[in-house]
Structure 1
Amino acid sequence: MYPKVNEMLYLQLASAETQEPKEEFKSRVAEMKEDSLLIEIPFSQENGRQKRLHLGEELSIYYISADGKKSYFNSYVLGFLEDQIQLVRIRKPEPEGITAFQRRGFLRVNASLEIAVKFHHDFTRFLARTRDVSGGGLSFYGDSRHPLTEGQPLSCWLLINYRNGTVEHMPFEGEVVRIQDQEAGPAIVMLKFTDIKDAERQKVIKYCFERQLETRNA
């Protein structure tokens, strides 16, 4: 099911906020690890130029099996390795994360979770409820007493409740991407993760898969 060593991967940057067709890049799998893939520096299919990736950058990826079938998965950059050539280490997807269709970004699910929000420029703190969450970010219902602006950095703690009853606290740094006003009710604040440990990101990805299974079985 997983791509093999020396197999070609076709990548798009999943985190770009645009509706325009995205440029596609190619890379080759150099090595398989238990929880990651090492790939060569991607290059553009249009002009052959290498594409510099950044830590935490989201990727939408597909590969083509010997029978011509396309398999898609989403991943993100974990780090870099200097070998004979520079390699990029990306997160290895869970088997259920490999699908026959493309998703724009990480799996996003509706979820009402408690989130604590803290401003960087002062000591403002408040609690809110999320509207949806994904491995790349989330949205929550704003508080009119604490107005936010696009591009504003925030320190947050997300309270995740798993199906087996366990509770996890997920700290992360985020940035407000967009604020969507509503005719009735609070504005929806869309937030992307800007600084988050891999182990913490995996907590929310695990939660998203649980929620997806619950929805399918409902």
Structure 2
Amino acid sequence: MFPKVNQMLYYYIANSAGEESEVEYKSRIADDLGDAFLIEYPMYQNNGGYKRLLIGDELAAYYITDEGIKNYFNTNVIGFSVDRLQLVKIIKPSEERITKVQRRNFLRVPAELELAVKFPNQKRYLCKTYDVGGGGISFVTDFEHAVFVGMTMECWLLIQYKNGLIEHAPFHAEIVRLNQLESGRQHVMCKFVSIKDLERQKLIRYCFERQLEFRNR
């Protein structure tokens, strides 16, 4: 069951490390666009002040049903709409992505995209992403040299959209987590530390396409 227009939405805004801050915000849902919601600007639960959102911001949200049950979902900001007041456009989740179990992680979509990675004073590596999102990416690889949490890298991502259009997105990222796999390879999880808004928009568009694809299966 989806939240309704005029219903309150409560959420945390994920930080760059992939974990939500401890500050809870709330917004009224102003409109349902079918594949997205328009919500009012975030208001702090404690003091009533407002918080500015940016395209690519990721939200861990919940709403309360008439029966008093909390339903959780992850979403992200994909645009804005100006009526009498500025509204924030967020992705509307598919029903299967709404759960009664709270999830506290960045919204990402599985994707095998071509990625070039270059560490300082090292050659460029080519690999495939494991997932991508508005706040970062992850990939699985077997580097020839040791990597560690906090290490930074220069990256180039090849994004192919459903209509065949291909875009390149350069950015700088930092490793925030490493997971050694049984195969001996490493699952490398990264956050963006430097990415232009235009490049982030390319990723947001791709993620939105992927979510619609999953929903229509």
TM-score (ref. length: structure 2): 0.71
Aligned-partner residue type, residue 201 of structure 1: C
Aligned-partner residue type, residue 69 of structure 1: I
Residue 131 of structure 2 is matched in structure 1 by: 133
Runs of 4+ in 1 over 4 A off after TM superposition: 18-21, 106-109, 111-114, 118-122, 145-149, 168-174, 184-188, 203-209
Residue 157 of structure 1 is matched in structure 2 by: 158
Residue 190 of structure 1 is matched in structure 2 by: 189
| Structure-2 change in CA distance of 1:145 and 1:20 (3 Å) | closer
Contact 2:127 2:140 in 1 (8 A): yes
Instruction: Report the alpha carbon displacement of residue 121 of structure 1 after superposing the two structures with TM.
Output: 9.2
Secondary structure of the structure 2 residue equivalent to 1:191? strand
RMSD between superposed Cα atoms in Å: 4.0
Aligned-partner residue type, residue 207 of structure 2: R
Contact 1:134 1:205 in 2 (8 A): no
Contact 1:135 1:204 in 2 (8 A): no
Q: Distance in 2 between matches of 1:191 and 1:208?
A: 24
Provide structure 1 residue ranges, at least 5 long, that are not aligned to the other structure: 160-167, 210-218
Instruction: Report the alpha carbon displacement of residue 205 of structure 1 after superposing the two structures with TM.
Output: 4.8
Contact 2:20 2:60 in 1 (8 A): no
Residue 98 of structure 1 is matched in structure 2 by: 98
Instruction: Report the alpha carbon displacement of residue 54 of structure 1 after superposing the two structures with TM.
Output: 1.0
Identity of aligned residues (%): 35
Residues 85-140 of structure 1: CA deviation (Å, up to 9, x unaligned): 1110001111111111111124679x895643154999x5422255x535453243
Whose RCO is larger (CA < 8 A, sep 6+)? 2
Secondary structure of the structure 2 residue equivalent to 1:201? helix
Q: Distance in 1 between matches of 2:38 and 2:212?
A: 22
Query: More deviation in 63-72 or 187-196?
Result: 187-196
Residues 190-218 of structure 1: CA deviation (Å, up to 9, x unaligned): 22365234341145557889xxxxxxxxx
Which one of the candidate residues 174, 178, 187 is aligned to 2:176? 178
Instruction: Report the alpha carbon displacement of residue 177 of structure 1 after superposing the two structures with TM.
Output: 3.7
| Structure-2 change in CA distance of 1:17 and 1:197 (3 Å) | closer
Residue 70 of structure 2 is matched in structure 1 by: 70
Provide structure 2 residue ranges, at least 5 long, that are not aligned to the other structure: none
TM-score (ref. length: structure 1): 0.71
| Structure-2 change in CA distance of 1:154 and 1:17 (3 Å) | same
| Structure-2 change in CA distance of 1:114 and 1:26 (3 Å) | closer
Q: Distance in 2 between matches of 1:57 and 1:94?
A: 19
Aligned-partner residue type, residue 127 of structure 1: L
